[in-house]
Amino acid sequence: MSSSTLQAAPVPPPPNPTHRPGRFVQLEQFWLRVTEGLALNQLWKQFHADARASYRLYKKDFSARSPSETRRHNFLHTAQEFAWALLEKLTPARRVLLLLGVVLLLFPGGGFSYSGKAGEVEFVQFDLRFYGGALILVLLMLEVADRVVMKRDLEIARDIQKWLLPTTPPQVPGLTVAFATRAANTVAGDYYDIFARPVTAASEPRFLLAVADVAGKSIPAALLMATFQASLKTLSSVPCSLTELITGMNRYASTNSQEGRRFTTAFLAEFDANSRALTYINAGHNAPILRRSSGAIEHLEKGGLPLGIVAQAAYESDTVSLQPGDWLVIFTDGVVEAVNKSDLEYGEQQLINVLQAGAGATPEELLRRIMSDLDIFVGETPQHDDITCMLIKAT
């Protein structure tokens, strides 16, 4: 009996978990490109935020067209008013396109008969849903094109706006400064700045502090904010008192305010580094919070009307002294009027509580605490106003 050597059959290599069919890889790459790498829960949050924003937009027009005291509480009336709110956002030509597409989708069937050869009757049936869908797709492409152009213009406007605002706090003798801003939309109507003013003598360094909030949102507010910045820089370059400065700005703002409808609230102050005196005027702005080193709270309210309402408005200034350990918090109404999902406002008292608890921190640290506390309070609730906060600590 002859012996032979037995050889084991080759064992196939284990499957590579990273190896996928080419079609699956292409599908995965397509999905990543569409979603930009966002997870499903992130996509849902984004859709939910967009849906709520769109609903508020249409609801605003719906409420204007049908006030609560005259509104008929029935589904057909509500649907009709919301339909008109949607249609009025489109140009007349696109309204016709949308209506025609909807009609073709609602009445998809169609056909006709005719006599063929040898007396045979032929019936031809066609489906209009394809054409209805095509019309709505064309409308969608037109709207997307408009949105892309608008988005590009808004991004350019946002970049220009960033050039108008300081990126880092300046060095001010006797003060440590921190600031932060968040736009409710791509561009904002809030303005803030600190810069040195021209002086009559080298021993009199003075710095101008400014925080302003233009009425309105988005592009109109951003344009007026740029106008405010230009007038402030121009008028403050000439030696003059703070009262003369804000009076000139109010007269200029009144020429561009559409009869007072486009006004600006502002807080302007001038700090004398030698005497530590802060002379200020509050033009209809949220009263800044002055926390003394002892813990006492004061509000800087003296001033007058918002800029742009009455061209000949008079403004009154006041002066306070900033001693080491004092805090000054200047903010826009977007901070204290931020709302959560229960429609409750953040409120000034909550801001004061955070200020009192963090009085020993640096302005940068306290600013982070305030913004973090604000984020926790609002959660995922979309905000409707710009948020700007400037913290100043006397040293």
Domain CATH code at residue 207: 3.60.40.10
Which among 43, 67, 89 is the end of a domain?
89
Count how many domains the chain has: 2
Burial 340-379 (b: 16+ CB within 10 A, else e): eeeeeebebebbeebbeebeeeebeebbeebbebbeebbe
pLDDT at 278: 96
pLDDT at site 7: 47
- Are residues 210 and 321 located together in one domain of the fold? yes
Return the pLDDT at 271.
Answer: 95
Q: What is the pLDDT of residue 5?
A: 40
- Indicate whether 205 and 84 sit together in one domain: no
Residues 262 and 382 in one domain: yes
18 occurs within a structural domain: no
Q: Are residues 83 and 174 in the same domain?
A: no
Q: Given this model, what pLDDT does residue 331 score?
A: 96
Among the listed residues 217, 211, 218, 229, the one whose alpha carbon sits nearest the alpha carbon of residue 158: 218
What's residue 85's pLDDT? 75
| Residue at which a domain ends, from 89, 114, 143 | 89
- The answer on 178 and 82 residing in a single domain is no
State the sign of the Cα–Cα–Cα–Cα dihedral 353, 358, 364, 369.
negative
The answer as to whether 2 is a domain residue is no
Residue 390 lies inside a defined structural domain of this protein: yes
pLDDT of residue 128: 78
Does 52 reside within a domain?
Answer: yes
For residue 66, what are the domain limits?
26-89
Please give the Cα distance from 385 to 126 (Å, whole number): 52
pLDDT at 3: 41
- The two tokens of residue 247 are 């009076």
**C-alpha distances out from residue 261 to 97, 265, 282, Å:** 36, 12, 19
Q: Which position has the token pair 């979603």?
A: 35
CA distance 262 to 242: 23
Would 102 be classed as within a structural domain? no
pLDDT tens digits in sequence order for the chain, 395 residues long: 444 444 444 555 555 555 556 778 888 888 888 888 888 888 887 777 777 767 776 666 666 655 555 555 566 766 777 777 778 788 888 888 888 888 888 876 665 555 555 556 665 666 778 888 888 899 889 888 888 887 887 788 778 878 888 888 889 999 999 999 998 877 778 999 999 987 655 556 789 999 999 887 778 888 888 889 999 999 998 888 999 999 999 998 888 767 667 899 999 999 998 899 999 999 999 999 999 999 999 999 999 999 999 989 999 999 999 999 999 999 999 999 999 988 899 999 999 999 999 999 999 999 999 999 999 999 888 778 899 999 999 99
Whether 249 is in a domain gets the answer: yes
At residue 188, the pLDDT reads 79
Q: How far apart are CA 215 and CA 265, in angstroms?
A: 8
